[in-house]
Each structure stands twice: as C-alpha cells, then as structure tokens.
Amino acid sequence: MRLVTLDTGSKANGYILTNGSEALIIEAGVKAIEAKKALGFRTSIIQGCIISHSHADHSRYGVDYARAGIDVFAPVDVFKIPHNRNRPVMPHKKYKAGGFTFMPFDVPHDVVTYGYIIEHQDCGKVLFMTDTYLCEYKLPKVDHLLIEANYDYNILDHCIEEGDTHPAMKDRLMTSHMEIGTTITYCTELKPRTVVLIHLSDGHSNEEDFIDRVTGATGAKVVAAKKGLEIYLDEL
Ligand SMILES: [Zn+2]
C-alpha cells in the first residue's frame, strides 16, 4: 500500500492510501485535482474521502471531492453545503468504502474531531490521528500509525521566552494539538511497524529530533510526512 502526502501541517492536509487499484483520500485540505493528479487521473479507483474535522486545513475542499463524485465521510458539522455524496459518520460505527473499512473515534480538540482506524487487506490496520492532545479510549495495536507530532514543550517554551510565540498559544496547543512526548507514548503502546509523523508545526518542532526519538523508543520505521512524500507502508 502506497501512502502519498499531498500536504501536511497547519495550512493544508491531504493524504492518499492506494494499492494501485483502490484509493482512499484522508482529509480534504487539498483540491481534488491534486489527488487525481497523484493517482494518474484514475479517478474511478477513489473509494472515498474521510475527514477528521471542520477546520479549513482539513476540510476546505470537501465539497470539491463530493462534486467529483466521491463519497465524503466526515463529522456532520463539516458539511456546510448539502450534497448527495455527503456521508456524515458517527464515532465507533464501522463504515466501508470499497476494500477499505474504517471506524471513526472521537478525540478532544476545539471542534468535533475524529481519528480513524482504517483497514485494508493490503496493509492491515492503519490508525490516523491528528489535531488532538490525547485519546480517551484504549486504542488497538496497529500495523501503521499516522499521527500528529505537532510541537515540543522545550521548543515552545524557548519561542515564548524569545517573544516569537505569544504565551496564550501554549494554553491552546496543550488542549488541541499533540506534543511529541504524547506522540511517542502512542507509538510505543500501539506497536506499529511504520510511523508517519504528520502535522509538524513550522516553528515548534524539530523533524530530525522527532524521528530520532520515535525511532529510539519504538524500533519502528519512522518518517515525517511532507508535501509530495510517497512511501510504501510495507516496504520502508
Ligand atoms: Zn484543527
């Protein structure tokens, strides 16, 4: 299974899981045309698009995917414009899109936000979790983990001391985004073979250090997502 990062971070998020004959889009922060381009314009292989929450960097182009004839699965408040491709989802219920099955679970953020446990016979279990600071549920062991590694407390504190970051930012981040220490805890508990770190903050993260720390704690193959990155989940 190939994972394509269309974009990641606070401006836009979009990822594709594809085995060549089926594809699942994760997040709609990037135009549908970019997803189609990444798939060689084989639009018919797209089984659906799943969205975590209503913030624009994750959902801005949801209606763009719906208008392209793609089922869009998301928390109900994401759907601002009615469309017959809108598929509101509920946490802890299972859904199917082609060979992909997925189950949303709710996580704390400043709007309704779902992580997803995605399964496909070609990659096993993939857990996707972003824009939260913790998960209140016990999560299952997974094969691959796509998880936010937004910031590092030390870097954040340093930026506040230097006056580069407003002190109020810390309160918001601590209750809405994932600190690398928390990310590492999940990476250790869920025992994935592959970890893809996503949604790294521009100013409050250190990609190399994050990769080293997660690798050291887990022994998993670890990469940091960036625009245009393509990896094979089982062939890292
Ligand atoms: Zn958000």
162 contact partners, CB below 8 Å, separation of at least 6? none
Distance 128 CA to ligand 1 centre (A): 14
Task: Please say if the pLDDT value at position 195 is more than 80.
Answer: yes
Distance 56 CA to ligand 1 centre (A): 8
Mean pLDDT of the chain: 96
**Rg of the chain over all Cα atoms, to the nearest angstrom:** 17
Query: What's the CA angle centered on 189, arms 7 and 150, to 5 degrees?
Result: 30
Average pLDDT over residues 208-215: 97
Q: What band does 137 get if pLDDT is binned at 50, 70 and 90?
A: confident
Task: Please say if the pLDDT value at position 235 is more than 60.
Answer: no
Distance 127 CA to ligand 1 centre (A): 18
pTM of the entire structure? 0.95
Distance 53 CA to ligand 1 centre (A): 7
Average pLDDT over residues 26-36: 98
197 contact partners, CB below 8 Å, separation of at least 6? 147, 148, 149, 183, 207, 210, 211, 214, 222, 223, 224, 225
Dist. CA 110–CA 56, nearest whole Å: 13
Average pLDDT over residues 23-44: 97
Confidence (pLDDT) at 236: 43
Distance 146 CA to ligand 1 centre (A): 16
Nearest to 183, CA basis, from 209, 158, 157: 209
Distance 80 CA to ligand 1 centre (A): 17
Domain ranges of the chain: 2-232
Dist. CA 187–CA 204, nearest whole Å: 20
Confidence (pLDDT) at 234: 78
Average pLDDT over residues 22-51: 97
Surrounding ion ligand 1 within 5 Å at CB are 55, 131
Task: Please say if the pLDDT value at position 169 is more than 80.
Answer: yes
CATH number for the domain running over 2-232: 3.60.15.10
Q: What are phi and psi of 129, to 5 degrees?
A: -145, 120
Distance 54 CA to ligand 1 centre (A): 7
Task: Please say if the pLDDT value at position 202 is more than 70.
Answer: yes
Phi-psi region of 84 (alpha: psi -120 to 50; beta: other; left: phi over 0): alpha
Distance 55 CA to ligand 1 centre (A): 5
Average pLDDT over residues 5-17: 97
